[in-house]
Amino acid sequence: MLDYKLLDALAAVLTHQGFERAARALGLTQSAVSQRIKLLEARLGQPVLVRGSPPTPTELGQRLLNHVQQVQLLEGELIQDAPQLALGHRQLRIAINADSLATWWPGAIAGYLKHQAITLDLVIEDQEVGLERMRLGEVAACLCASDMPVQGARVNALGVMRYRALASPDFMARHCPQGADAGSLAQAPAIIFGPNDQLQHRFMAAHGVNGPFPHHRCASVEGFLRLAHAGLGFGLIPEIQAYRELSTGELEDVVPGWHLDVPLYWHYWRHGGEPLERLGRHLADQAGHHLLPPGG
């Protein structure tokens, strides 16, 4: 039989990215957490952690992490019928893209959390790569752009987030006075979110720029918008985020009429219990008020 005190220690170390923070979360000493991990490894006969900064799971550690997250969700489902068993809030770890988190997603999930003893541990990942967290067993659910299901998980299509290449009128006057073409776009400073952000590269390739291009890197959704607003660069920005700036003319399309629609999918573990099923249905309903339907 698995000792869930040991598994909880493993999950805490990985979730909080260190023994000291895990100890604070569990109300234990750092030495006690370390001893629980050592005991777990002794019983299994192999390591569950690569002790680095931060610690990372071994292949077995990833499988155990996935298991304990699913058990916690199932316990949450049982507590719905027997609330006297509740010991406090359960944590739900979700990988989510930054643009959704900064725009429609908080309002969409708020109604669900008002009636659930659940807190969120949100892992911010680009929509192109967030699903890897699911494959590694590090999160219970994922909002991303891929429709390829992970083994043991379900996937629901939520809708489409529309991106437009936007810049300030001053930026366009300085860098693309005759309109945007391959030559001017290759020289004008762009803005990208981070090393995994491929939206700008897709825009550039669609307009004849396939090589390197000058760019600012800004891993802040609000900062990204502000850089474009200040005329420091142009970038792919969600239409729903830049609604005010577009309506006032503070930002404009780099290429009028062009947009990129990115589909969003909700992935969650099949054995996560009814709470995850209900959350999936709730998000599907709410997404219809914020996202475009597939096909725009």
The DSSP string of 44-67 is: HTS-SEE-SSS-EE-HHHHHHHHH
Compute the mean pLDDT over every residue in the chain, rounded to the nearest whole number: 88
Q: What is the pLDDT of residue 76?
A: 61
Q: What is the pLDDT of residue 84?
A: 43
Residue 70 backbone phi and psi in degrees, to 5: -70, -40
Residue 114 backbone phi and psi in degrees, to 5: -60, -25
Q: What is the pLDDT of residues 119-149, one digit of tens each?
A: 888 988 876 677 887 877 778 899 998 898 8
Q: What is the pLDDT of residue 85?
A: 44
- Which is more confident, 17 or 172? 172
Q: What is the pLDDT of residue 39?
A: 92
Look-up: residue for tokens 């709730």? 282
Please state which of the ranges 5-9, 51-55, 84-88, 173-177 shows the lowest mean pLDDT: 84-88
* Contact assessment for residue 268 and residue 112, using Cβ atoms and an 8 Å cutoff: no
**Residue in 109, 80, 78, 75 with CA at minimum distance from that of residue 91:** 75
Q: Is residue 291 exposed (0-12), middle (13-18) or buried (19+ Cβ within 10 Å)?
A: buried
- Which is more confident, 74 or 32? 32
3-state secondary structure of 34: helix
Q: What is the pLDDT of residue 143?
A: 94
**Residue in 66, 45, 68, 49 with CA at minimum distance from that of residue 57:** 49
pLDDT category of residue 291 using cuts at 50, 70 and 90: very high
- Could you tell me the maximum CA-CA distance found in the chain, to the nearest angstrom? 71
- Which is more confident, 249 or 7? 249
Burial code (b: 16+ CB inside 10 Å, e: under 16) for 230-246 equals ebbbbbbbbbbbbeebb
User: Residue 86 above 70 pLDDT?
Assistant: no
Tokens linked to 100: 């959704």
AA identity, residue 31: S
For helices 30-44 and 4-16, what crossing angle results, to 10°?
Answer: 120
pLDDT category of residue 3 using cuts at 50, 70 and 90: confident
Interatomic CA distance for residues 189 and 216, integer angstroms: 7
Q: What is the pLDDT of residue 151?
A: 83
User: Residue 18 above 80 pLDDT?
Assistant: yes
Q: What is the pLDDT of residue 193?
A: 92
Q: What average pLDDT score do residues 260-273 get?
A: 86
Q: What is the pLDDT of residues 34-82, one digit of tens each?
A: 999 999 999 988 999 998 889 999 989 888 887 887 776 666 665 555 4
Other C-beta atoms closer than 10 Å to the C-beta of 290 total 16
Q: What is the pLDDT of residues 148-159, one digit of tens each?
A: 888 888 999 999
- Which is more confident, 91 or 87? 91
Tokens linked to 279: 């959350």
Residues sharing a CB contact under 8 Å with residue 125, sequence separation 6 or more, in sequence order? 95, 96, 97, 132, 133, 144, 196
Q: What is the pLDDT of residue 204?
A: 96
Other C-beta atoms closer than 10 Å to the C-beta of 21 total 16
Note the pTM of the prediction, 2 decimals. 0.75
* Cis peptide preceding 54, ω within 30 of 0: yes
Q: What is the pLDDT of residues 194-246, one digit of tens each?
A: 888 889 999 999 999 998 999 999 999 999 999 999 999 999 999 999 999 99
